[in-house]
């Protein structure tokens, strides 16, 4: 699906604003230059007239070849005179022209019907900005994830050391991000106590997916339930919103902090429908939760827990609160 309608519209507005700015700046340069060099304006007007004369000569057919040759010589002389004026003013030859931010597409966003690389970058920037407003995306990357805070001793006899477990999870997530495909990548369940890096790694995956041009939504369970509940109220009053549709159709949904939302019949049914609909459409979801299996079964219906456990790759995070360790070090 790629980017949401909101992101595309925002990128289009940014592109249009960029184009207007390029044109406005060119107009300002031209006015300033013509006020200092009136002859330059006369030359431009004469060049425009020569173009009209050339078209007339072709249409009339009378001595067209000779007339076109004469006009060509006149045109070249005028262009040379204008170039000399620009040089004497100490400005570049393109000073009077529009300097587009992207010469390839002339700030239109498309070349021969195909999206220009500058438009793709605007879409990525807008997606990053929106996701960053809701999450610490700027701080969350695979490069900033440190394994130094995870212990090397097992938490219980015969158990796996937290650092070893987290090394495996880190490698899995990095590979998942590198090969992300909205049709083929599995859904993930990141499970473990608070402060173990679940949000960090899920956002690192989001960063990589956005960089490839995929549409990503990040939301915490309490926030999205609150938002959808308000939208349901507005819909009852005749207003519509696309959030419901995009949650189901985005390339990757990250549902953070599952289990921290206030439990109601609306929240339970909404979460089930969201997860189930995406599974039915083979669209990946990354769920993170602090709840244990027993706590999940206590809070949610058996059918929801079954859908999650049966259709998500489970990544069980181990260790003690990394955020607390970082604060102690500071």
CATH number at residue 139: 3.40.50.300
Instruction: Give CA–CA dist 295/315, Å, rounded.
Output: 17
pLDDT at residue 212 is higher than 80 = yes
Q: Which of 34, 158, 46, 149 lies closest to 96, judged by CA?
A: 34
Q: Do 160 and 293 reside in the same domain of the chain?
A: yes
Q: Do 40 and 104 reside in the same domain of the chain?
A: yes
Q: What is the mean pLDDT of residues 152-175?
A: 90
Q: Do 63 and 188 reside in the same domain of the chain?
A: no
Q: Do 210 and 66 reside in the same domain of the chain?
A: no
Q: Do 70 and 109 reside in the same domain of the chain?
A: yes
**128 in any annotated domain:** no
Q: Do 142 and 90 reside in the same domain of the chain?
A: no
Q: Do 155 and 291 reside in the same domain of the chain?
A: yes
pLDDT > 70: percent of the chain: 87
Give the per-residue pLDDT at 323.
72
Range of the domain at 254: 135-329
Give the per-residue pLDDT at 239.
42
Q: Do 155 and 83 reside in the same domain of the chain?
A: no
Q: Do 275 and 316 reside in the same domain of the chain?
A: yes
The last residue of one of the domains, among 51, 85, 114, is 114
Chain segment 230-284, per-residue pLDDT in tens: 877 666 544 445 566 678 888 999 999 999 999 899 999 999 999 999 999 999 9
Chain segment 68-115, per-residue pLDDT in tens: 778 788 888 988 999 999 999 999 999 999 999 999 999 999 999 999
Q: Do 234 and 288 reside in the same domain of the chain?
A: yes
**120 in any annotated domain:** no
Q: Do 64 and 167 reside in the same domain of the chain?
A: no
Looking at per-residue pLDDT, the higher value among 154 and 202 belongs to: 202
pLDDT at residue 118 is higher than 50 = yes
Of 57-61, 198-202, 207-211, 222-226, which one has max mean pLDDT?
198-202
**127 in any annotated domain:** no
Give the number of domains in the chain.
Answer: 2
**122 in any annotated domain:** no
User: What is the pLDDT of the chain when averaged over all its residues?
Assistant: 87
Give the per-residue pLDDT at 75.
84
**119 in any annotated domain:** no
Looking at per-residue pLDDT, the higher value among 316 and 72 belongs to: 316
**124 in any annotated domain:** no
Give the per-residue pLDDT at 328.
58
């Amino acid at each position: 699906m790629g980017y949401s309608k909101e992101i595309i519209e925002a990128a289009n507005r940014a592109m249009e604003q960029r184009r207007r700015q390029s044109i406005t700046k060119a107009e300002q340069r031209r006015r300033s230059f013509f006020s200092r060099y009136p002859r330059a304006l006369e030359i431009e007007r004469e060049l425009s007239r020569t173009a009209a004369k050339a078209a007339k000569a072709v249409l009339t057919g009378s001595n067209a070849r000779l007339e076109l040759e004469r006009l060509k010589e006149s045109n070249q002389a005028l262009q040379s005179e204008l170039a000399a004026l620009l040089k004497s003013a100490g400005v570049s030859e393109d000073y009077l022209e529009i300097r587009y931010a992207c010469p390839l597409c002339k700030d239109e966003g498309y070349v021969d019907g195909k999206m220009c690389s500058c438009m793709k970058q605007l879409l990525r920037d807008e997606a990053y900005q929106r996701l960053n407003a809701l999450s610490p995306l700027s701080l969350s990357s695979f490069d900033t994830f440190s394994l130094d805070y995870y212990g090397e001793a097992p938490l219980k006899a015969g158990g796996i050391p937290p650092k070893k477990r987290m090394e495996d999870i880190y490698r899995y997530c990095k590979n998942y991000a590198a090969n992300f495909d909205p049709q083929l990548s599995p859904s993930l369940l990141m499970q473990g106590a608070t402060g173990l890096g679940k949000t960090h790694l899920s956002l690192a995956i989001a960063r990589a997916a956005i960089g490839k041009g995929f549409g990503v939504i990040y939301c915490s369970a309490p926030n999205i339930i609150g938002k959808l509940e308000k939208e349901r109220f507005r819909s009852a009053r005749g207003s519509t919103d696309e959030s419901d549709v995009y949650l189901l159709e985005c390339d990757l949904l990250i549902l953070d902090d599952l289990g921290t939302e206030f439990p109601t019949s609306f929240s339970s049914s909404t979460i089930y429908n969201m997860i189930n609909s995406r599974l039915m459409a083979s669209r990946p979801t990354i769920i993170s939760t602090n709840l244990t299996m027993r706590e999940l079964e206590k809070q949610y219906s058996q059918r929801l827990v079954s859908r999650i456990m049966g259709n998500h790759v489970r990544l069980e995070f181990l260790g003690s609160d990394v955020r607390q360790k970082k604060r102690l070090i500071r």
